[in-house]
Structure 1
Amino acid sequence: MSASLIGFVGILIMFGLLVLRVPVAFAMFSVGFVGITVLDSSRSAFSLLASETFTLASSPELVVIPLFILMGNVASITGMSQKLYDAAYAIIGQLRGGLASATVIGCGGFAALSGSSVASALTMGKVALGQMDRFKYNTRLSTGVVAAGGTLGILIPPSTGFVIYAILTEQSIGRLFLAGVLPGIMLLMLFIFVIMVICWFRPEYGPAGPATSWRNKGKALLGAGPIVAVILLTIGGIYGGLFSPVEAAAVGAGVVILAGFFTRALSLKTLWHASRDAVVTTATVMLILIAAHMINPFMALSHIPSAVGELLSGLGLGVIGTLILILVIYLVLGCFLEGFAMLVLTLPIFFPIIMSLGIDPIWFGVLTVLTLEMGLISPPVGINVFIVKSVAPNVDLGDIFRGVLPFWLMMILAVALLIAFPQIVLFLPNTMFG
């Protein structure tokens, strides 16, 4: 049996294990370890396991993951996300569809603290769905806004998706964080635009809320000051060269914790719970990364990336055509697989092809992460849709999927704009790093 055939058999076995609900890390580890043993030797497999585990565990870049997760957990516990939502609602809530637009802004702001799409959808769902129901918003619009708005968590920095991509491809975490800023803002504005269009043609979908006095507007803005300050401090510090991503994560987590204790919204008990959740999430990510570093050498030994590269080159699609085909594959896989699983499974195959075509890896990273976002609201998996369903159990699942469709189309438009105008992605990182 040839090396390539062994590689393809390994991939099929891995997908079979995932279908059987075997955890992603264990499925990848098993196939990678056995594959390296078959193609090389058991000594190489054990040696690789020991060396890669130690290398990853001692990697300082990975410290950003638990710190940013902790920052997001504390921000949620202390009610910072609620205050950001209240500020957005005070400013635009009196407009038609204003409550839905405020929800999108709240999702974007919370995403800039948590770096997690699921956390954004869950937190803002609890905060906003009751309010929109109180003002008689159509359930398709209200649930669709929360599910789609939550996807901003994987694009607006700090993004765990960018950290995973950077580790797997040996790219700069700082460049990727900055590369996600303008696309994240653009996608947020596209979501608000589609809300305005829906409410223009269907006014009953998003009735205007009560007007807010200037005094209350100022009070709400003042309440959101701490969370805005943390966002500007972390992202602005990276852009200004004051902090590395790791230092920015530490500063952000420290400021949020101190603010929580100062306002008495955080206790030692709640800090312990937030820290424990951050450790559990980090351990899960670490297991996936270790497994990814077992599957990557197996892919290399089996020559799968070169075989797929030759296949794509033979199609004669050109650089942009090949890029679009890869993104379409990600889009289809996103309907069935979790985003992180797709990254670790496919990057060993696609990334060498991308580099051989001369495609900027930072640009490709943002396009990939944005495409992964679409999987979060695509049937049949649509993790964010099921998160919203858990918060709003009385809403039909089909209505939620129909509600996210306009936002899904806006994400397609965002991908097209980023392909047509790469500088939207590359402007900030090129400005910072020359």
Structure 2
Amino acid sequence: MIDPTLIGYGTFIVLVALILIGVPIAWAISGVSFGALFLIYGIGPTISQFYTTAFSSAGEFLFSAVPLFIFAGQLISKARIGEDLFDTMHKWFGRLPGGLLVSTVSASAAFGAVTGVSAAAVGTMAKVAMPEMIRYKYDVKMSAGAIACASTIAIMLPPSLLLILYGLQTETSISKLFIAGIVPGLMMAFVFSAYNVIRCSLKPELGPPGPRFSWRERLVSLGKLSPVVIIFGVVIGGLYNGFFTPGESAAVCAFSVLVYALVTRRVKLKEIIEAAYDAVSLSAMVFAILIAMTVFSRVLIATRVTSDLVDLISSAGLNSYVVFALFILLLLVLAMFLDALGMILLTLPFMFPVMMGLGFDPIWFGIVLVLMSEVGLITPPVGMNIFILSKSLPSVPTIQMFQGAWPYVALCIGLVILFTIFPQLVLWLPNSM
């Protein structure tokens, strides 16, 4: 009989190889998990593990939050709320050096606060913000980098899909994860905006100030923010005060967006059906990945890989922050080859037990892990946000987009260091619930 530990390490190596060559994550994880369990238990118990896991995992009430939040995000994209957000931010911040860049960052943060998916923010801002930046002769490289990177804020702010997946996989409170993401998300928006203002102040040709708007125009434009403010306030306020569970808050969010879309007639019936179809398709993919990850976690338990890793690190006597720094370096390397979802799902089964064994807070670690996964969306050669942007802006070379994104990678790493030194920046809001 093959040593289960060898099976465990072999499974991980094969899994990494499959993901790197482009095999869909759900298929890769399911395939290696099936093979490992077959070698350990045989065909009968392996099949039993798969179908019992599928029913028990997909039957959890928390899973209902996934399709509902995705549906809300799809509707918001089709309702052209992103255009309203950018227009409002442009009127308030456009006069600053690099004002259109600041407007893009601010609008992306607000857009992400009601969608939780960065891809939607990239596509929307590419259509809305880039023509304005070209019109005012902004540096193309800096403009493209700002659009791609500002959209990553969406997966930090609630209702972040990645935070939901993290909570489901680690049995961490999704409500507290949502609340914990607010301050880091707002800090990201502030730091990104400050960088753009400072750099464009030093080199005005990169992003000259835009036109001046009257106070009346600015105040009137705030009315366009009301849907986002109301929806975000109701959902997050309900979570913070304990009125809603994550599943219930997702239902409230989806219902609120649907009512807004119907009342304002911004979305046709055909588009609502399309949004529902897209939500079902994406949710099916997410469910398949979650079920596969649940089975994979059983492989790690059966092969004792995770417990052996925890014992090895504990016996080595390394300082907990040294271990954390090594993990961050590993995440930086993986960010070059994996997208955000793949990186989190691949590393979570190993890193989470180790970090908990070293005494780190699970909510804090979730925020840091999601922040590092954002780096994976903007670094070559994968850089999912960059490639989404390149489809919307074929005239801009991809290499220039990556060059424009590098300063934001440094800013994200700086924020990780800041949150490590001052963890209460992440934890004070969820701890007050």
TM-score by length of 2: 0.97
Q: Name the counterpart of 1:187.
A: 188
What amino acid is aligned across from residue 183 of structure 1 in structure 2? Answer: P
Q: Measure, in 2, the Cα distance between the counterparts of 1:130 and 1:117.
A: 20
1:414 deviation in Å?
0.6
Q: Measure, in 2, the Cα distance between the counterparts of 1:156 and 1:142.
A: 22
Q: Name the counterpart of 2:97.
A: 96
Which is worse superposed, 319-328 or 84-93? 319-328
Measured against aligned partners, the alpha-carbon deviations of 1:94-120 in whole angstroms (never above 9, x if no partner) come to 121111101001110111111111221
Q: Measure, in 1, the Cα distance between the counterparts of 2:50 and 2:335.
A: 29
Structure 1 position 214 matched with structure 2 position 250: no
What amino acid is aligned across from residue 369 of structure 1 in structure 2? Answer: V
1:6 deviation in Å?
1.5
Measured against aligned partners, the alpha-carbon deviations of 1:106-144 in whole angstroms (never above 9, x if no partner) come to 110111111111221122112111111111110111101
Identity of aligned residues (%): 37
Q: Measure, in 2, the Cα distance between the counterparts of 1:285 and 1:8.
A: 25
| Correspondence list, 1:17-28, <5 A | 17-28=18-29
What amino acid is aligned across from residue 397 of structure 2 in structure 1? Answer: D
Q: Measure, in 2, the Cα distance between the counterparts of 1:315 and 1:140.
A: 46
Q: Name the counterpart of 2:58.
A: 57
Q: Name the counterpart of 1:9.
A: 10
* 2:200–2:206 contact (8 Å) kept in structure 1: yes
Q: Measure, in 1, the Cα distance between the counterparts of 2:59 and 2:35.
A: 25
Q: Measure, in 1, the Cα distance between the counterparts of 2:398 and 2:32.
A: 35
Q: Measure, in 1, the Cα distance between the counterparts of 2:112 and 2:352.
A: 27
| Correspondence list, 1:76-95, <5 A | 76-95=77-96
1:379 deviation in Å?
1.3
Change in 2 beyond 3 A, CA 1:118/1:315:
farther
1:315 deviation in Å?
4.6
Measured against aligned partners, the alpha-carbon deviations of 1:370-399 in whole angstroms (never above 9, x if no partner) come to 011111111111111111111111112121
Q: Measure, in 2, the Cα distance between the counterparts of 1:172 and 1:224.
A: 29
Structure 1 position 384 matched with structure 2 position 385: yes
| Correspondence list, 1:111-126, <5 A | 111-126=112-127
1:316 deviation in Å?
3.6
What amino acid is aligned across from residue 160 of structure 2 in structure 1? Answer: S
| Correspondence list, 1:8-407, <5 A | 8-407=9-408
Change in 2 beyond 3 A, CA 1:40/1:242:
same
* 2:96–2:197 contact (8 Å) kept in structure 1: no
Q: Measure, in 2, the Cα distance between the counterparts of 1:170 and 1:265.
A: 38
Q: Measure, in 2, the Cα distance between the counterparts of 1:323 and 1:359.
A: 10
1:15 deviation in Å?
2.1
Question: Residue 351 of structure 1 aligns to a residue in which SS?
Answer: helix
* 1:140–1:402 contact (8 Å) kept in structure 2: yes
Q: Measure, in 1, the Cα distance between the counterparts of 2:67 and 2:20.
A: 29
What amino acid is aligned across from residue 249 of structure 1 in structure 2? Answer: A
Measured against aligned partners, the alpha-carbon deviations of 1:268-325 in whole angstroms (never above 9, x if no partner) come to 1110011111111100000101111111111111221123224433554311111221
* 2:20–2:337 contact (8 Å) kept in structure 1: no
1:19 deviation in Å?
3.1
What amino acid is aligned across from residue 221 of structure 2 in structure 1? Answer: A
Q: Measure, in 2, the Cα distance between the counterparts of 1:283 and 1:73.
A: 15
Q: Name the counterpart of 2:427.
A: 426
Unaligned ranges ≥5, structure 1: none
Alignment size in residue pairs = 432
* 1:305–1:352 contact (8 Å) kept in structure 2: yes
Q: Measure, in 2, the Cα distance between the counterparts of 1:333 and 1:20.
A: 14
Which is worse superposed, 274-283 or 220-229? 220-229
Unaligned ranges ≥5, structure 2: none
* 1:334–1:374 contact (8 Å) kept in structure 2: yes
Question: Residue 382 of structure 2 aligns to a residue in which SS?
Answer: coil
Question: Residue 172 of structure 2 aligns to a residue in which SS?
Answer: coil
What amino acid is aligned across from residue 325 of structure 1 in structure 2? Answer: L
* 2:20–2:338 contact (8 Å) kept in structure 1: no
Which is worse superposed, 314-323 or 105-114? 314-323
TM-score by length of 1: 0.97
Which is worse superposed, 304-313 or 80-89? 304-313
1:173 deviation in Å?
0.5
- The two structures, once aligned, show a CA RMSD in angstroms of 1.3
What amino acid is aligned across from residue 79 of structure 2 in structure 1? Answer: T
Q: Measure, in 2, the Cα distance between the counterparts of 1:392 and 1:236.
A: 38
Q: Measure, in 2, the Cα distance between the counterparts of 1:62 and 1:330.
A: 27
* 1:72–1:110 contact (8 Å) kept in structure 2: no
1:148 deviation in Å?
0.6
